[in-house]
Structure 1
């Protein structure tokens, strides 16, 4: 199942998404045809059970798919829609038709069944039909059209991270959090997928840097043959492998419920690797890597953006550090081996 999902996604993106289209999307042109193709192939329902109209995939099954989206810098909220429908299915609700996004912000309040406040950092808020938000002990589905207004805000990569302002809006769906379920479910969900998208973008810059180093000749030989460049390329490959291993573990351990420790570790590893990868890849490319015409910036600007979304490396490091301290020194090694703090 995993290979089918990943191969399908890679084939669609390779065929229908170019660097020029990504740049156009940054300018506000939503890739309608690409979205239609992804819908036609059932990607938004990949994690929904077959008897509910989905493909019946698991989180482990879609890890490669999410990495592929990161590698191609897919400029649309297909991952957010897929995960939103997954959360609804987990709570026994039917999937939504259309573009769905979610935000981990806590700016909404419920009063007598109505929602008011600002929902910030909504990926593609201006384009979505619905948005998920966690308010108190409830998971809410709101119509984006019910927002009083939408403030257009973009991250460093030019991707929409909008603010939707609501005033006494009625939720379309209100779902009580399951017993023992964290009210940080959307934060965990977002951190999980961003770690995989970062991994994909790192793999992209690794490939670009490798190709360029083998083609660029200096002092009569490819720069890939210089020891200093080889050292930097080895460091970049190491970071890519570490990020991929950590997100694979997080997806695998989150099959039943989101595994907070492994998700924290994945976001830390991928976010830290993002900075190294961007620096090394630009260093290898030299001046040409900083030009707008050369496509390296498409990936590196997303690395700089994604590493701080849904909790930065510092945020998740503090969370893990606090758990280690609370558990005590005697429990450090046993909990480390068990993969839980």
Structure 2
């Protein structure tokens, strides 16, 4: 996932594999050969009802990634206190094409009494787990994009000559390069740590921290890298904007700064003063 962000690849890799594929597999449903996407807010704006072996879905979902080209749209819902995973054929919905700041598809999908087979999620797979998995996917994407943005900035400032020497030799510019490199290393570290802990089991603390850190790093690094590029960084032909606009879009998805700061703050307060340091050093393993 980090490499997808590194190359600013315009593909629904997170939706098809990490999110949609995971939800379908967890509910015992067949994975399609084509593109799969997910309703990012876990069906919060949708209503669902179960009758026999079918689920009926109605409502309007906003900012659904790549819906217009998806073979299946996966909708996680809570119906009668059970997590239901609905696999919807895109042809059953009304899809209004929309885009995010980076020009990636973030479509509006309207469901009007859409009926699909009833499929229950496996234990441990629910809307909260989906939200954290989505946050992890975005943290990994952002880590790759910040890394590439930093490298691009170092390369450009060494090639750009002003007053008889590369602008990278000027101390004021070097400060921007350091900020970009620091945030690239920080974002990659937290994303890799969260992914490693997630493969071991419970990793909510690490994922929440990774998403918050990546969000903040994206804001700082974008500012530093565009400042070092000057006007060149704003041109349509130059690749910097493919990275920075994606970063500003991804940082809002699956939880922004305020949401994850509040979540981490509540966890820290609930643990108490004596458990704060063990929480910081031990992460999710230290949660009571």
Q: In the alignment, which of 129, 133, 145 is matched to residue 201 of structure 1?
A: 145
Cα deviation, 1:230-273, whole Å, max 9, x if unaligned, reads 12211111100110010101111111556221111111111111
User: Residues 256 and 171 from structure 1, CA distance in 2 versus in 1: closer, same or farther, beyond 3 angstroms?
Assistant: farther
Asked whether the 8 Å contact 1:192–1:247 carries over to 2, the reply is yes
SS class of match (1:170)? strand
Superposition TM-score, scaled by structure 1 size: 0.76
Q: Is residue 282 of structure 1 aligned with residue 226 of structure 2?
A: yes
Q: Is residue 71 of structure 1 aligned with residue 6 of structure 2?
A: yes
Whole-Å separation in 1 of the counterparts to 2:202 and 2:127: 11
Q: In the alignment, which of 46, 49, 68 is matched to residue 108 of structure 1?
A: 46
Whole-Å separation in 1 of the counterparts to 2:59 and 2:201: 29
Q: Residue 165 of structure 1 corresponds to which residue in structure 2?
A: 110
Whole-Å separation in 2 of the counterparts to 1:132 and 1:125: 10
Q: Is residue 217 of structure 1 aligned with residue 152 of structure 2?
A: no
Q: How does 1:144-155 map to 2 (within 5 A)?
A: 144-147=90-93, 149-155=94-100
Q: Which runs of 5+ in 2 are unaligned?
A: none
User: Residues 217 and 226 from structure 1, CA distance in 2 versus in 1: closer, same or farther, beyond 3 angstroms?
Assistant: same
Higher relative contact order (CA 8 A, sep 6+): 2
SS class of match (2:99)? coil
Cα deviation, 1:10-49, whole Å, max 9, x if unaligned, reads xxxxxxxxxxxxxxxxxxxxxxxxxxxxxxxxxxxxxxxx
Asked whether the 8 Å contact 2:63–2:106 carries over to 1, the reply is yes
Q: Is residue 94 of structure 1 aligned with residue 30 of structure 2?
A: yes
SS class of match (2:68)? coil
SS class of match (1:162)? strand
Asked whether the 8 Å contact 1:139–1:177 carries over to 2, the reply is no
Offset of 1:91 from its aligned partner? 4.1
Whole-Å separation in 1 of the counterparts to 2:215 and 2:162: 33
Cα deviation, 1:77-113, whole Å, max 9, x if unaligned, reads 1221112223333444432221100123211111243
Q: In the alignment, which of 34, 59, 63 is matched to residue 121 of structure 1?
A: 63
Asked whether the 8 Å contact 1:119–1:165 carries over to 2, the reply is yes
User: Residues 276 and 220 from structure 1, CA distance in 2 versus in 1: closer, same or farther, beyond 3 angstroms?
Assistant: same
User: Residues 142 and 185 from structure 1, CA distance in 2 versus in 1: closer, same or farther, beyond 3 angstroms?
Assistant: farther
Whole-Å separation in 2 of the counterparts to 1:256 and 1:141: 28
After TM superposition, the structure 1 stretch with the greater mean CA deviation from structure 2, 167-176 or 284-293, is 167-176
Asked whether the 8 Å contact 1:101–1:124 carries over to 2, the reply is yes
**How many aligned residue pairs are there?**
274
Give the structure with the higher percent strand: 2
Asked whether the 8 Å contact 2:39–2:61 carries over to 1, the reply is yes
Whole-Å separation in 1 of the counterparts to 2:117 and 2:102: 32
Q: Residue 174 of structure 1 corresponds to which residue in structure 2?
A: 119
Whole-Å separation in 2 of the counterparts to 1:285 and 1:164: 38
After TM superposition, the structure 1 stretch with the greater mean CA deviation from structure 2, 242-251 or 285-294, is 285-294
